[in-house]
Structure 1
Amino acid sequence: MYLHKLFVSVFLLLLFTGCSNDSNEYVFREINVFSLTIEGGKITSGIDNISINPKLRFVFSRSLDAASFEQALKINSSSGFTIAAIEYMNNSSAVEVLLNLDYASSYEVMLEGAIGINGGVLTKPINFSFKTQIDDTIYERPPCLNTADCLQSTLISHTTGQGNFDFYANYPIYEENAKWQNLEKAVIVVHGASINPDDYYSYMTTTLEALNISEKTVLIAPDFKSSAVSSGDLYWSSLGYRDGKTSNGTTQISSFEVLDILINRLADKNFFPVLNEIIITGQSSGGRFVHTYAAGNRSESTHPDIHFEYIVSESQYFYYPTNERIDEQTNNLYTPTNCNGLQFWPFGYELAPDYVNVLDKTVFNDRFVNRSITYLLGNGSGSDSELNTTDCEAVLSGSSRYQRGENMYLYMGLKYPNHNHKKTIAQGVSHNGSAIYTSPEFKSLLTQLLNN
């Protein structure tokens, strides 16, 4: 009896062990597609207006065997094509294929079968088609969604010299052969003190995709570097960008003027014939940038055919046209007497940067009151280690980041009853750029502003 039980136990152990090994080998041999993009944008079969030199990017769950992948990749077309280059990355789990194609032609891409190391098999065949642009003019293009593929640069000229300025964008805005027929809106998002434009580009891309508006909306995330990464880079030390100060180095240009230059491109009807609205937003220190740029910029008055909106997100610093502040005990205005910095930029107008002080203070304040500014506030109770609780100019603005935004909005209502400012509260969100820009409240706000 004992031997019989022992035999049964050993038999079952071998049986289950064998099944487990076979199963593991089966799972190991499977290869899934994590992402598939063309020119940085998502692929939908039948997509039009692809360039004649597109880059296909495949990302798989496991490493590829190069020879097997290249043998399995099929491209069909009645027109000519060549594979210009194939590059493998991330331990051969990602591959980029550069193509040379003809204008006004249709192509079909297929991939199936064993393409992996150790004979790994693609679980689901890839099959999609696309058409190239009809001539050398670009009218449409899928938006760039993979942040790493969306970095662009432009050479900015100024009376003091030239400098390179980087930014992320979902369309090649400086493409000289483009006449964008579908891009009606633009959203510009300014990073905070962490100088992480790639993150903010990613947050906003997520929201635009969720709202299904990427195909008609230009997204730009400027990179106001704190130091030069390469020779000739424009940069602003000590977070000078957020106050419109001039860049460091030989070429000295205001961060506000840099944004004007990007906007001038968007406003050029030769390239963006149907663009009619630009929303500029910034988080934290980026919100501080937007709050004063809203009144000081030259773009809105230069381009009266474009509607401008400004969204100040979770800033702890605000510009006040007067030295008055909100008494949180009474919710009334009062004038503090124990702080000498209230009148100085960016809390007040004195010592405003050269870009701004060409305007009379009265003109600046009139613009500030009447331009369309929305305060995007998170009322979460999470910790805020970056809150300035030392400088009187900051402390007198309010007891918390959220309260400082509430106080700013209340001030406008008491001091300027006919102001053009608004507020939106993201429920439960603390100081967090990702959370606030992907919040339901922000999505609703963006939808409302873009549909006005």
Structure 2
Amino acid sequence: MSMRLWAGALGAAAMAACVVAGGARAADKPAVKGQRAAVKHVADQRLLVATPQGRGMLAIYADRSLAAPAPGVKRVLLVVHGTLRNADTYFSDGRKAQQAAGTAGAGTLVAAPQFLTRTDVQAFGLAADTLIWTRNGWKDGAPAVAPAPISSFAALDALLEHFADRKLYPALVEVVLAGHSAGAQVVQRYAVAGRGEAALRRAGIHVRYVVANPSSYLYFSDARPSADGSFRPADAAACPKAVKWKYGLEDAPPYVQREGSAGLEARYARRDVVYLLGMADTNPYTHFIDRSCAGMAQGPYRLARGLAYFSYMQQRHPSGLEQTLVEVPGVGHNGQGMFTSACGLAVLFGTPVPATCPRKP
């Protein structure tokens, strides 16, 4: 995307925000209501998460029992749901991608964790040991509200560590942690701060993080993109949240505060991260996009924000950056469309990216 288009889009978005703010807020009301409502389905499996902060059970979908040995599994595809906590939909998307991949998807276990809220637990009468978070806390790595203050990132640690068990998964070669939209926000922050990869690496298992169309990214400095392609300090006086967690490292949750920012960034740059961006994800208003001042400081819409963030990482790490950006032609903000596209299948299942998918570097 040219900087001229960026500037035009940003200006148009800002003007529209002033002119039709009331209409935009009215259109957002059903979306907000959807976030507050209980989920329609709850995952049927549970994974124990045991931490120094306490214990709890994480709800999870999987295409086979997680308690039974799976000697034929060579790859695990973990799909993190979006803001509606509809893990059943994302689990289905993951299975459709696995089927669409053909032979490349053979030997793949598909699973989708579910970060529930108190509303969900009450609606379904779930056991008291079920982990629950606030509506936004699970997205940010915040501690659970019950039964113990366990970070959603610690829950992902436990999930990744589960697959490091060679007694259960003797043939496992790689784990792919993928998310779309709000799920991608979780995956990107977890790729920065998460500690579950260590156990998999010790077992000789590779980990890849697929970040598809998130609404925002975690920056390591106060620099934010400008229309001319440069990065300038965010106006923290006008928008203090622009440099605070989850947009920056200031005021990060306890899970993240255990490590220094320099160490987190260096490790993140070395991790296998793929930014999967829909080339048609350019609507500045729909699908729960973050229109706060902190979100808008990262760009006018999701595609612009993703392109800018990858440029930011390239500029900060001119060598040694183990990350890739892949664009998906013709797809907007659609998780199934992203993951089942030829570009998405190549990223998820480790096959060559087609020439039709713009790729950097």
TM-score over 0.5 (shorter chain): yes
1:377/1:423 contact within 8 Å kept: yes
SS across alignment from 1:406: helix
Aligned-pair CA distance for 1:275: 0.8
Q: Unaligned stretches of 5+ in structure 2? A: 1-40, 354-361
**Residue deviations 1:153-194, cap 9 Å, x none?**
23433444432321111121222xx2x222111111100101
**Distance in 2 between the 1:318 and 1:382 partners?**
16
Aligned: 1:277 with 2:174: yes
2:47/2:159 contact within 8 Å kept: no
Aligned: 1:416 with 2:317: yes
Alignment of 1:137-156 (within 5 A): 151-156=44-49
**Distance in 2 between the 1:289 and 1:382 partners?**
21
Aligned: 1:288 with 2:185: yes
Aligned: 1:183 with 2:76: no
**Distance in 2 between the 1:149 and 1:360 partners?**
37
Alignment partner for residue 133 of structure 2, among 236, 249, 264?
A: 236
Letter in structure 1 aligned against 2:233: T
Aligned: 1:220 with 2:111: yes
Alignment of 1:377-388 (within 5 A): 377-380=277-280, 383=283, 384-385=285-286, 386-388=288-290
Instruction: Pick closer, same or farther for the CA change 1:184–1:318 going to 2, 3 Å.
Output: same
SS across alignment from 1:237: coil
Instruction: Pick closer, same or farther for the CA change 1:449–1:215 going to 2, 3 Å.
Output: closer
CA-atom RMSD in angstroms = 2.1
Alignment partner for residue 297 of structure 2, among 383, 387, 396?
A: 396
Letter in structure 1 aligned against 2:258: V
Aligned: 1:406 with 2:307: yes
1:226/1:239 contact within 8 Å kept: no
The residue number in structure 1 matching 2:36 is none
The residue number in structure 2 matching 1:52 is none
The residue number in structure 2 matching 1:346 is 246
Aligned: 1:204 with 2:94: yes
Letter in structure 2 aligned against 1:200: Y
Aligned: 1:265 with 2:170: no
2:276/2:328 contact within 8 Å kept: yes
Alignment partner for residue 364 of structure 1, among 243, 264, 274?
A: 264
**Distance in 1 between the 2:147 and 2:93 partners?**
34
Instruction: Pick closer, same or farther for the CA change 1:331–1:348 going to 2, 3 Å.
Output: same
The residue number in structure 1 matching 2:197 is 300
Q: Unaligned stretches of 5+ in structure 1? A: 1-147
Aligned: 1:311 with 2:210: yes
Alignment partner for residue 147 of structure 2, among 234, 250, 257?
A: 250
Aligned-pair CA distance for 1:367: 1.3
**Distance in 2 between the 1:340 and 1:306 partners?**
40
- Structure number having the greater strand percentage: 1
Aligned-pair CA distance for 1:422: 1.0
Alignment partner for residue 334 of structure 1, among 232, 251, 262?
A: 232
Aligned-pair CA distance for 1:149: 12
SS across alignment from 2:314: helix
The residue number in structure 2 matching 1:67 is none
Aligned: 1:321 with 2:187: no
Aligned-pair CA distance for 1:326: 1.4
Instruction: Pick closer, same or farther for the CA change 1:157–1:333 going to 2, 3 Å.
Output: closer
Aligned-pair CA distance for 1:401: 1.1
Letter in structure 2 aligned against 1:441: C
1:380/1:429 contact within 8 Å kept: yes
Letter in structure 2 aligned against 1:318: Y
**Residue deviations 1:61-117, cap 9 Å, x none?**
xxxxxxxxxxxxxxxxxxxxxxxxxxxxxxxxxxxxxxxxxxxxxxxxxxxxxxxxx
1:277/1:450 contact within 8 Å kept: no
The residue number in structure 2 matching 1:119 is none
Instruction: Pick closer, same or farther for the CA change 1:150–1:285 going to 2, 3 Å.
Output: closer
2:48/2:56 contact within 8 Å kept: yes
> Identity across aligned pairs (percent)?
27
**Distance in 2 between the 1:150 and 1:250 partners?**
18
The residue number in structure 1 matching 2:275 is 375
**Distance in 1 between the 2:272 and 2:348 partners?**
13
Alignment partner for residue 57 of structure 2, among 141, 164, 177?
A: 164
1:185/1:450 contact within 8 Å kept: no
Alignment of 1:86-105 (within 5 A): none
**Distance in 1 between the 2:349 and 2:147 partners?**
42
Larger Rg: 1
2:234/2:243 contact within 8 Å kept: no
2:42/2:59 contact within 8 Å kept: no
